[in-house]
Copies of this chain bind each other. A is one copy, B any other.
Amino acid sequence: MPNLNLHGIIAYPVTPFKDGGETIDTDTLSQLIEQLIENGSHAIAPLGSTGESAYLSDAEWEEVAFVSIHQVAKRVPTVVGISELTTHNAIRRAKFAQQVGSDAVMVLPISYWKLSEREIFQHYAAIAQAISIPIMVYNNPATSGIDLSPELIARMVKEIDNVTMVKESTGDIQRMHRLYELSDGTIPFYNGSNPLALEAFAAGASGWCTAAHNLIPEFTTALYEFALKGDFFEARRIFYQQLPLLKFILKGGLPTTIKAGLQLLGIKAGTPRLPMLPLDETEVRQLDSMHINTTRQRTVSHFTKQIG
């Protein structure tokens, strides 16, 4: 298994729809990915929570995976997201992702009935056995309904060969401390809670999994670069500037708010799937008043150039 060395800004594209939400808009998807890379992202993670992975049919999911990987074209790593209720379906999607060239998969163990640690372990073990690319354990109880303890995660990294990294989205910094302690700092962990971006880097996170890079790439990359240098005065300054937006997109839901933000930037990515509704007018105005404005000029020009 090749060393992936994932780090920095792991950017999450939305899944754009057209024809009233019926079909995937693969052209816009390609352009979005192009934009994310051009704006400095260190990896691309299609079909995450932001990408409405759980809301897609098998055929749609496969189309997005294929198009994304093809567009990235190995310039940076691609990490495809899998959030399936059954082990059977998770394995099918993981095998597809590997087959079409994904560098890794990020696996979220969605629940209806709560799962025991024994059940979670064998879910990951079964997927791991079916593929040979690295697996990122994704802990996000707010969306998945399952909370993976740092102890369980560390055990899976130790005992399952290609489980090698962790995305922590609880927003609880003590989870990162515990992962660090349990592995003497050897398990790479990535922060998935946007308003924790500053402190996660302080605690030693290898990267930041974020959809904010779609809207304010200068800010997200600047935060990472200051953190990388260990300059926390500047990191703090740039963090507080983007914090209102980071909180807004968390509160409003990533597909909803990022799609609204793209619209403000002149990019038509459609709206999220029902029952999710687009932002209402007041919310759009709120979003419009945030830092996204300051980057619009540049982003739009880039984008125009890109798609021109």
- Whole-angstrom distance from the CB of A180 to the nearest CB of chain B? 6
CB neighbours (8 Å) of A289 from chain B are none
Instruction: Indicate the size class of the contact surface on chain A.
Output: 35 or more
**Chain B residue, CB-CB nearest to A193:** B174
CB neighbours (8 Å) of A83 from chain B are 112
Please report the C-alpha to C-alpha distance between residue A240 and residue B272 in the assembled complex, in whole angstroms.
42
With known contacts A113-B49, A274-B123, A177–B202 Cβ distance under 8 A: no
Could you say which of B54, B204, B273, B276 contacts A236, with CB atoms under 8 Å apart? B204
Stretch at the interface among A6-14, A33-41, A153-161, A227-235: A227-235
Please report the C-alpha to C-alpha distance between residue A253 and residue B199 in the assembled complex, in whole angstroms.
26
Q: Could you tell me which residues of chain A, from 207 to 231, have a CB within 8 Å of some CB in chain B? A: 227, 230-231
Please report the C-alpha to C-alpha distance between residue A235 and residue B202 in the assembled complex, in whole angstroms.
9
**Chain B residue, CB-CB nearest to A84:** B275
CB neighbours (8 Å) of A254 from chain B are 113
Q: Do the beta carbons of B54 and A112 come within 8 Å of each other?
A: yes
With known contacts A85-B54, A275-B86, A174–B195 Cβ distance under 8 A: yes
Q: Do the beta carbons of B273 and A203 come within 8 Å of each other?
A: no
Could you say which of B203, B231, B272 contacts A230, with CB atoms under 8 Å apart? B231
Q: Do the beta carbons of A55 and B112 come within 8 Å of each other?
A: yes
CB neighbours (8 Å) of A204 from chain B are 236
Q: Do the beta carbons of B113 and A253 come within 8 Å of each other?
A: yes
Q: Do the beta carbons of A244 and B181 come within 8 Å of each other?
A: yes
Q: Could you tell me which residues of chain A, from 55 to 112, have a CB within 8 Å of some CB in chain B? A: 55, 83, 85-88, 109-112
Please report the C-alpha to C-alpha distance between residue A116 and residue B235 in the assembled complex, in whole angstroms.
34
Is A290 an interface residue, CB under 8 A from the partner? Answer: no
Q: Do the beta carbons of B276 and A115 come within 8 Å of each other?
A: yes
Could you say which of B180, B195, B236 contacts A202, with CB atoms under 8 Å apart? B236
Can you name 14 extra interface pairs (CB under 8 A) apart from A123-B274, A202-B236? Answer: A86-B274, A87-B274, A87-B275, A88-B274, A110-B112, A113-B255, A118-B277, A122-B274, A122-B277, A173-B173, A173-B196, A180-B240, A199-B199, A227-B232
